[in-house]
Chain A
Amino acid sequence: MANEKSVHRIRVESVNGGADVRILLRHPMETGTRKDSVTGITIPRHFIEEIHFEHNGEEVMAAHWSWGMALNPFVSFHIRRVRPGDVVRVHWTDNKGMSGAVEGAVALSSGKPGRA
């Protein structure tokens, strides 16, 4: 996986035939009302607008966000049925047109959590 140097983190853990997915993204999620403490200049709004969650290339969930989601957003959800080796991918775009993604796989051997 290309995630060793990814700024985002994902953990895919098999649970009873399904998977708990935990994602920690790095993003400033600026509201656009904060002022820089040194210059006093208002930091422009910069936030993840849209985020897609895929299992083996099929979208299982998607979301629209506002700037009210926390800095370095954390999301966790559960996919009902997965198989070892299945890939979970999360892809986001922000209001400045930037985007990012992170993916992880369901562990091939049972009993061990997937690592990103």
Chain B
Amino acid sequence: MQRRTFLGATLAAAECALLAGAGLLKPQRALAAWPAAAFNAETLDSALRALSGGAPISDSDAIVLQAPEQAADGRTVPVDVISNIPGTRSIALLSEKNPFPALSRFELTPAVSPSLSARIKMGGTGKVVALVEADGRYYSTSRRVEVAVGGC
């Protein structure tokens, strides 16, 4: 099987291991550190701005976001995202009414489908947001979830 790399060039396994230890899917990106500014942002807007680096975010219906209309327990809410935007490289999840809305950012390689399921905490009734980065541009969509008992 051809050994594909994220750099578009051939790397020895040892170099791959070194890079893998250094951060999160670094190739072609600046070394990715845990996004403290985003995860410590206290509003949805500031969290989105931190995740997108201030770049404009377009609303997109090419992102399929599924979340329950009503969640009995905000401590664990199932969310499904499928991005039909070509070149999707990352998917981030946010919950509007959490004390800290940014929840996660997944970085994808072409080896996986641009789809994810995960369980999140929701602090109260509000929007769940999926933020997609594709080819350097940002897109988002949201779903409103009614939360009976907040989970934060």
Contact = CB atoms under 8 A, between A and B. Distances in A.
Contacts of B95: 68
A75 interface: yes
Interface residues of B, number: 38
A6 interface: no
Contact of A66 (B39, B76, B110, B151): B39
A77 B119 contact: no
B45 interface: no
Contacts of B63: none
Quick one: which of A18, A29, A68, A81 has the most chain B CB within 10 A? A68
A94 to B, nearest CB: 11
A71 interface: yes
Contacts of A64: 24, 32, 34-35, 39, 104-105
Give chain A's interface residue range (CB within 8 Å of chain B).
20 to 34
Nearest to A63: B106
Interface string A45-80: 000011011010011111111111111111111111
A49 B95 CA distance: 17
B147 to A, nearest CB: 13
Interface in B63-93: 75-78
A33 interface: yes
Given A63-B106, A69-B103, A78 B113 contact: yes
B119 A65 contact: no
A78 B115 contact: yes
A49 to B, nearest CB: 6
A60 B112 contact: yes
Interface of B: 16, 20, 24-25, 32, 34-35, 39, 75-78, 95, 98-113, 115-121, 151-152
